[in-house]
């Protein structure tokens, strides 16, 4: 018997070395080398990720174009994130914390596609077929076109694909699958890499839309070589707070659409339910007439969402005051506080300040600045703002309120939800006429915005 060789592979980039090293020579990351058994690559080249075709290069103008064919699922939020639907032959990676609902989402998607008369094969390496059936009972996901198999051996999975000939394939999860030709444990860098490469070839050659479920590491990245994300067409993350019932599906890479869109779901007794009007959800627990609370009109992709921002400003007992933010960049908060101190003369050095985006969503765009500033000012003065005001606008260092994009959509969303006034940058009013029935208060500086808010 040949001697078993040990080598080390980087979990970030897949670089292999014969000895353990603290720093990967490939990508320079620290503490990413893990022990692996020697890989035996088969002669037919399972390891090769290159799809061989006999085509010659052609001028780009001679290549047929036209819309990509897409399979629309009945889950509109999923279609939105994927850019319109599932593309046949694409490889999608879905990551997320354990228990967040990945298997639930994919079982529901499988059901939705199977009820459209597509053949779906759901391979579970983590749960038995009975467990999957029980879950399907609960979700009402029973269709004769949905095939389920509990298997982790790649060769058996291949046989199943040959016999079922699915249009849509789910592998739950990629870390449990192993290729018997590769002599390292399931979930190791080489196994995950080889298996993904294999599924990619199957997807491209047979035109099967394939979804791989990936575990995430403690830091929240998909476990396995970072390369995995380069190999697939789409990388989706399924996120959410464990204690909240809603879940966000976010694309971080998408070869067939934009990565701005998010899909919003709510986990209930009967599985995931789509949230088609997120603003209502995010405002549902809003207290009215209390200080520190404002509503911001923010954009999530191409969709406007109204979200409540809360601030709490209290006198500190420490020499350096605390600044804490959830759902908003910490540096952004520091900047807004600095502007309020310098331009508005608010004495915040002796105050702890907490800023929170209600509902656990993350707001990354600068348009939330104005609402954050008003919330902080409101808590500091202990003066509530009017409950039916909406704010948006970016704040500059001189205290000016700068224009933001898509003002019209934000205003319309505010009007739709019954808000009375919108306080927004005057420069964002160019090129469109505000709808009647909602008061637009255009401002140029933070000072003007505060006067309007507390006037």
List binding-site positions for ATP: 96-103
Which of 198, 215 has the CB closer to Mg ion?
Answer: 215
Return all residues near 79 (Cβ < 8 A) that are at least 6 apart.
72, 73, 85
* Shortest reach from residue 189's CB to ligand TYD, in Å: 22
String of contacts with ligand TYD for each residue 355-384, x by CB under 6 A: ------------------------------
In the bound state with ligand TYD, the residue whose beta carbon lies nearer, of 173 and 325, is 173
In contact, 295 and 419? CB cutoff 8 Å: yes
| Nearest residue (CB) to ligand TYD, 223 versus 313 | 223
Instruction: Select from ligand TYD, Mg ion, none the partner in contact with residue 101, using the beta carbon and a kind-dependent cut-off of 5 to 8 Å.
Output: ligand TYD
Bridge partners (DSSP) listed for residue 421: 389, 439
113 interface partner picked from ligand TYD, Mg ion, none, CB below 5 to 8 A per type: none
Shortest reach from residue 103's CB to Mg ion, in Å: 3
Residue entry with tokens 């992709």 = 301
Rounded to a whole number of angstroms, the minimum distance from the CB of residue 267 to ligand TYD is: 5
Min dist CB 143 to ligand TYD, Å, is 16
Helix 446-454 to helix 369-381 angle (10° resolution) is 50
337 CB-near residues (< 8 Å, 6+ apart): 323, 348, 353, 376
- 412-420 contacts at long range (C-beta below 8 A, 24 or more positions apart): 412/304, 413/279, 413/297, 413/304, 413/305, 413/306, 414/295, 414/297, 414/306, 414/390, 414/438, 417/279, 417/280, 417/283, 417/306, 418/388, 419/295, 419/306, 419/388, 419/389, 419/390, 420/386, 420/388, 420/389
- Residues numbered 214 to 273 that lie near ligand TYD (CB under 6 A) are 267, 269-271
Sole binder of ligand TYD in the list 42, 76, 138, 342 (CB under 6 A): 138
- Annotated binding-site ranges: 96-103
Q: Give the nearest distance from C-beta 126 to Mg ion in angstroms.
A: 5
Instruction: For residue 182, give the DSSP letter.
Output: B
Query: Is the CB of 148 or the CB of 335 nearer to ligand TYD?
Result: 148
**CB 112 to Mg ion: min, Å:** 18
Q: Least CB distance from residue 237 to ligand TYD, whole Å?
A: 11
Smaller CB separation from ligand TYD, 236 or 452: 236
Q: Determine, following the binding rule CB under 6 A, whether residue 137 of this chain makes contact with ligand TYD.
A: no
Interface residues for Mg ion in 31-70 (CB under 5 A)?
A: none
Minimum CB distance to Mg ion smaller for 103 or for 351 = 103
Residue number, 103 or 152, with CB nearest to Mg ion: 103
Whether residue 372 contacts residue 380, with contact meaning beta carbons closer than 8 Å, is answered with: no
Cα torsion 219, 224, 229, 234 to 10°: value is -90
| Smallest separation, CB 245 to ligand TYD (Å) | 8
Per-residue tokens: 192: 């995950």
- Quick note: the x/- pattern for ligand TYD over 72-111, rule CB under 6 A, is ------------------------x-xxxxxxx-------
Which of 103, 110, 254, 445 contacts Mg ion by CB under 5 A? 103
What does 100 bind: ligand TYD, Mg ion, none (CB cut-off 5 to 8 Å by kind)? ligand TYD
Short-list 425, 453, 452, 421, CA closest to 437: 421
Tell me how many residues contact ligand TYD (CB under 6 A).
Answer: 15
With CB under 5 to 8 Å by kind, the binding choice for 135 among Mg ion, ligand TYD, none is: ligand TYD
Would you say 70 or 111 has its CB closer to ligand TYD? 111
Strand partners, 440: 422
Largest CA distance in the chain: 85
Structure tokens at 448: 């003007």
Q: How far is CA 403 from the centre of its chain?
A: 27
235 or 371, CB closer to Mg ion?
235
6, 23, 30, 189, 193 from 26: Cα distances, Å? 19, 9, 11, 15, 16
What is the CA 371 to chain-centroid distance, rounded? 24
Residues in contact with 144: Cβ distance below 8 Å, sequence separation at least 6, in sequence order: 114
In DSSP notation, 36-91 reads EEPB---TT-TT--PPP--PPP--GGGS---PPP-B--S-HHHHHHHTSSBPTT-E
Residues 278, 160: Cα–Cα separation, whole Å: 40
Selection from ligand TYD, Mg ion, none that 96 binds (CB < 5 to 8 A by kind) is ligand TYD
CB of 122 to Mg ion, least distance (A): 11
Query: Which residue, judged by CB position, is nearest to Mg ion in the bound state?
Result: 103
Question: Using CB distances below 5 to 8 A depending on partner kind, what does residue 99 bind out of Mg ion, ligand TYD, none?
Answer: ligand TYD
By the criterion CB under 5 A, which residues form the site for Mg ion? 103
Q: Which residues bind ligand TYD (CB under 6 A)?
A: 96, 98-104, 135, 138-139, 267, 269-271
């Amino acid at each position: 018997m040949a001697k078993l060789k040990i080598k080390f592979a980087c979990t970030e980039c897949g670089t292999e070395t014969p000895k353990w090293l603290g720093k990967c020579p490939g990508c320079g990351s620290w503490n990413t080398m893990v022990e692996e058994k020697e890989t035996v690559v088969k002669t037919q080249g399972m390891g090769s990720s290159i799809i061989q075709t006999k085509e010659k290069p052609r001028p780009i103008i001679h290549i047929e174009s036209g819309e990509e064919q897409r399979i629309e699922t009945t889950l509109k939020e999923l279609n939105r994130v994927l850019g319109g639907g599932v593309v046949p032959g694409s490889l999608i990676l879905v990551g997320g914390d354990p228990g967040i609902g990945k298997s639930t989402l994919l079982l529901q998607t499988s059901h939705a596609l199977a009820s459209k008369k597509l053949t779906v094969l759901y391979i579970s390496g983590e749960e038995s077929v009975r467990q999957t059936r029980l879950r399907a009972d609960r979700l009402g996901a029973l269709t004769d076109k949905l095939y389920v198999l509990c298997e982790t051996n790649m060769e058996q999975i291949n046989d199943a694909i040959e016999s079922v000939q699915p249009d849509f394939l789910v592998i739950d999860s990629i870390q449990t699958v192993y290729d018997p030709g590769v002599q390292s444990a399931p979930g190791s860098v080489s196994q995950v890499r080889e298996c993904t490469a294999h599924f990619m070839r199957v997807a491209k050659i047979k035109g099967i839309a394939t979804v791989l479920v990936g575990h995430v590491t403690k830091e929240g990245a998909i476990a396995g070589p970072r390369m995995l994300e380069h190999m697939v067409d789409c990388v989706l993350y399924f996120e959410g707070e464990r204690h909240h019932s809603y879940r966000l599906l976010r694309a971080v890479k998408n070869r067939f659409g934009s990565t701005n869109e998010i899909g919003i779901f709510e986990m209930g007794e009967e599985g995931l339910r789509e949230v088609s009007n997120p603003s209502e959800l995010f405002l549902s627990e809003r207290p009215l007439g209390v200080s520190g609370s404002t509503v911001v009109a923010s954009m999530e992709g191409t969709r406007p969402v109204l979200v409540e921002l809360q601030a709490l400003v209290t006198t500190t007992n420490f020499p350096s005051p605390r600044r804490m933010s959830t759902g908003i960049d910490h540096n952004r908060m520091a900047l807004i506080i600095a502007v309020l101190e310098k331009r508005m003369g608010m004495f915040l050095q002796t105050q702890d300040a907490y800023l929170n985006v209600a509902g656990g969503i993350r707001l990354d765009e600068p348009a939330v600045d104005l609402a954050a500033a008003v919330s902080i000012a409101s808590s500091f003065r202990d003066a509530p703002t009017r409950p039916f005001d909406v704010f948006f606008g970016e704040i500059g260092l001189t205290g000016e309120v700068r224009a933001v994009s898509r003002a019209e959509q934000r205003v319309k969303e505010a009007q739709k939800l019954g808000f009375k006034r919108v306080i927004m940058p005057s420069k964002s009013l160019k090129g469109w006429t505000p709808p009647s029935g909602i008061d637009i208060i255009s401002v140029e500086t933070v000072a003007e915005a505060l006067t309007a808010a507390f006037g």
